[in-house]
Structure 1
């Protein structure tokens, strides 16, 4: 199995609209990818290498600071959106059966004006992160339109459930991830950089600077996902699988430790697209394959698994 590559140029961020013929072609390609693999590489999205590089650079400057400078911006520091902020090393366990993941992250989960942002040595942090958040949001909505078309649905089915991206009424998150150098011999038994998990929301956009991600194939084996410059790696997440009654698949993925003697770092950025907290997700084919659930309730349930109840 390999992850397909699809040219999204006809509906890139630099295009105002897409013709019916182009939409039909994109819909067919994405539908095949999402039913057979769950992942797809998109080329020519309109998001440039330079944009990605700016976010990676400012994120790395933040992560390389001493922990005491990052601590004031910790996740759960903001009452209005507890997922926003910095997550320290080994705090999260995306596979709850493993020790804490050997990564740290910064979640941009809200653009509310009251939120405090890192400054000082990373004074452009807020501007660069929020600008990229908006670019990812726009691309995501275009992808959702193509997905709706592929399922013969009115795009409003998805749009109406994603009205509040960027506010405290929606869980969509731009997550900058940093995997520091690690000595695999000193890691805890079973510890990895990012435990096996599926994503929680509707779709995820991933930007990665190097290889390391592995994706579970339909044959039950993990395969390496290449790092292809200039592409966005896009995958289906849990609530979209529920929404489509398993027509589209949300598959497990992970990041293992580097080989012994390899002390390289890894960076990536993920834009996790979630339905609005109050949006009710029901099977779009009218079946009762999955019980109805709101976007917010499902997200809290999954956070309790990966962070623990406290």
Structure 2
């Protein structure tokens, strides 16, 4: 898998002598693959582990308890528990061979705390949210260099409200419960349907259980094997639109590849979005895609999912 998704050392960002070359290389990877592993990314592993353990405690509690903290059914709020079956991400659903997506999630937004369960420590998830945002800002700096943006802080300015009302950037913790029977699981169930992400970037923290698959240039899905100490970063749809398809938002899915159907799996995704009122226009001035506010774009995508 390392031959498909490159591994880059983020220490090169911190070295002034290598920062520009690192930015160019990151853009090259995002143009070709859309995914990259970053090592030495700076997010505390103990903090990540603590969030994983708290998530496990919450997701393994009784369903009646979890539903007390459910995400609202409309599109005006996104924070809260998402039970199995509440959303579908498979963009190519075959009605005659319908699969069930076996997945639960909890969406954390620092400004919407009405549905935070006691099992998910507020301090832990707030720290992880902000640590992920600090890393994202550095990635934005790299992209500004790699894309030769005339306005170096464009991405940061368009995400000025991250962590505040008016920006939907979300830390999502995911739980994939075990499914009995590998053969049956592969025929009738999946963990996450084929999709691409909605916003600007996604940062993904994985446990050591496999299952994530990424589509390569040959339209083949290949394993994105968890790599200890690395965060997996990918381009999302709005950034592809923003860069007039220069950066590639790659389809991916989570299935039962290997022998993992009877194992629970965890991951945490930091979904980065521009501010709701920010209008996205093609950076090259081509208007291949019409201008659209980031909030309007996200609402359109949510309507396809929920």
Cα distance in 2 between the residues matched to 1:189 and 1:242: 34
Matched, 1:91 2:86: yes
Cα distance in 1 between the residues matched to 2:197 and 2:26: 18
Cα distance in 2 between the residues matched to 1:112 and 1:271: 15
Partner of 1:82: 77
Asked if the contact 1:91/1:101 (under 8 Å) is kept, the reply is no
Cα distance in 2 between the residues matched to 1:261 and 1:36: 29
Asked if the contact 2:80/2:106 (under 8 Å) is kept, the reply is yes
Cα distance in 1 between the residues matched to 2:166 and 2:131: 19
Bigger shift: residues 83-92 or 229-238: 83-92
Measured against aligned partners, the alpha-carbon deviations of 1:28-69 in whole angstroms (never above 9, x if no partner) come to 220111011000000001113212111100011010110111
Cα distance in 1 between the residues matched to 2:11 and 2:234: 18
Q: 1:100 to 1:26 in 2, by over 3 A?
A: same
Asked if the contact 1:93/1:99 (under 8 Å) is kept, the reply is no
Q: Secondary structure at the match of 2:175?
A: strand
Q: 1:160 to 1:54 in 2, by over 3 A?
A: same
Asked if the contact 1:258/1:264 (under 8 Å) is kept, the reply is no
Structure 1 runs not aligned, ≥5 long = none
Bigger shift: residues 273-282 or 180-189: 180-189
CA RMSD of the aligned region, Å? 2.0
Partner of 1:221: 220
Asked if the contact 2:210/2:257 (under 8 Å) is kept, the reply is no
Q: 1:261 to 1:304 in 2, by over 3 A?
A: closer
- Of 47, 56, 59, the residue aligned with 2:43 is 47
Partner of 2:239: 240
Bigger shift: residues 22-31 or 204-213: 22-31
- Of 188, 191, 195, the residue aligned with 2:189 is 191
The number of residue pairs the alignment matches comes to 296
Q: 1:6 to 1:258 in 2, by over 3 A?
A: closer
- Of 153, 157, 160, the residue aligned with 2:157 is 160
Matched, 1:140 2:136: yes
Measured against aligned partners, the alpha-carbon deviations of 1:58-89 in whole angstroms (never above 9, x if no partner) come to 01101011011111211117x99511010011
Structure 2 runs not aligned, ≥5 long = none
Once the two structures are TM-superposed, the CA of residue 152 in structure 1 deviates from its matched residue by 0.6
- Of 203, 206, 219, the residue aligned with 1:205 is 203
Partner of 2:145: 149
Q: 1:264 to 1:151 in 2, by over 3 A?
A: same
Cα distance in 2 between the residues matched to 1:220 and 1:273: 26
TM value normalised by structure 2 = 0.91
Once the two structures are TM-superposed, the CA of residue 191 in structure 1 deviates from its matched residue by 3.1
TM value normalised by structure 1 = 0.90
